[in-house]
Chain A
Amino acid sequence: NAGVMQNPRHLVRRRGQEARLRCSPMKGHSHVYWYRQLPEEGLKFMVYLQKENIIDESGMPKERFSAEFPKEGPSILRIQQVVRGDSAAYFCASSQLNNEQFFGPGTRLTVL
């Protein structure tokens, strides 16, 4: 049973470009969470999704950031017009309802 998969593992973008981060949850998991981690800090919650629904986006910046979890395919975290402050590690986790969250290896975004 493969764990949570994220790709790409490393992503480099220039300021103003778009970044798309993908997350495939563990088999049988229908709940996906995105977290952001700055160096030497803890993870910060961004958004919680179920299939085709955003349940809690209280941690998402109001502009430039969006997330989706379509009926088919991976969850996508999209960052438009990236700025240097978006450079961070972005982690996806998945779970069954109200159960333990399993984390993926993360995508490290660098904005030049």
Chain B
Amino acid sequence: GESVGLHLPTLSVQEGDNSIINCAYSNSASDYFIWYKQESGKGPQFIIDIRSNMDKRQGQRVTVLLNKTVKHLSLQIAATQPGDSAVYFCAEKEDGYNKLIFGAGTRLAVHP
């Protein structure tokens, strides 16, 4: 289940299940979106990206969906593993600018 409070929202899943992490972005001019995984004490690690001229992109066990109409991005992880436990951030970038704008993050907890 998902809980929201003062801390990061947490998504708890069973090992082997599929996970879906959602993100609402803010800037309709953003044309490039990235999902990052951050493990405790480490820097963000690139997972997958998508440009605004696409609505879906697949990687190994991961899929990113982009809905520009409602400014929504999602990350789907198939067959979630304990090693997937981390905080996941979406980030957006506007054409002509190099800075990334990060979302608030979702903690994924995978239980055996």
Q: Enumerate chain A interface residues (CB-CB to B < 8 A).
A: 4, 31, 33, 35, 40-45, 48, 55-56, 58-59, 91, 93, 95, 98, 100-106
Interface band, chain B: 20 to 34
With A42-B89, A106-B43 in contact, do A33 and B102 touch (Cβ < 8 Å)? no
A102–B7 Cα distance when bound, in Å, is 26
Query: 5 extra interchain contacts, Cβ-Cβ under 8 A, other than A43-B89, A58-B99, A93-B100?
Result: A40-B8, A42-B103, A42-B105, A98-B98, A106-B43
Name the A residues within 8 Å of B98 (CB-CB): 31, 33, 48, 55-56, 95, 98
A100–B36 Cα distance when bound, in Å, is 11
Residue of B nearest to A6 (CB): B43
B101 touching A45 by the CB < 8 A rule? yes
Name the A residues within 8 Å of B103 (CB-CB): 42
Name the B residues within 8 Å of A42 (CB-CB): 89, 102-105
Name the B residues within 8 Å of A59 (CB-CB): 99
A45 touching B100 by the CB < 8 A rule? yes
Name the A residues within 8 Å of B7 (CB-CB): 40
A100 touching B46 by the CB < 8 A rule? yes
Residue of A nearest to B107 (CB): A40
Residue of B nearest to A3 (CB): B43
A102–B34 Cα distance when bound, in Å, is 12
B67 within 8 A of A: no
A56–B98 Cα distance when bound, in Å, is 9
Residue of A nearest to B104 (CB): A42
B42 within 8 A of A: yes
- Distance from B89 Cβ to chain A, minimum over Cβ atoms (Å): 5
8 Å CB interface, B17-57 against A: 34, 36, 41-46, 49
B43 touching A103 by the CB < 8 A rule? yes
Residue of A nearest to B99 (CB): A45
A101–B41 Cα distance when bound, in Å, is 19
Name the A residues within 8 Å of B41 (CB-CB): 105
A106 touching B42 by the CB < 8 A rule? yes
With A41-B105, A42-B104, A42-B105 in contact, do A105 and B99 touch (Cβ < 8 Å)? no
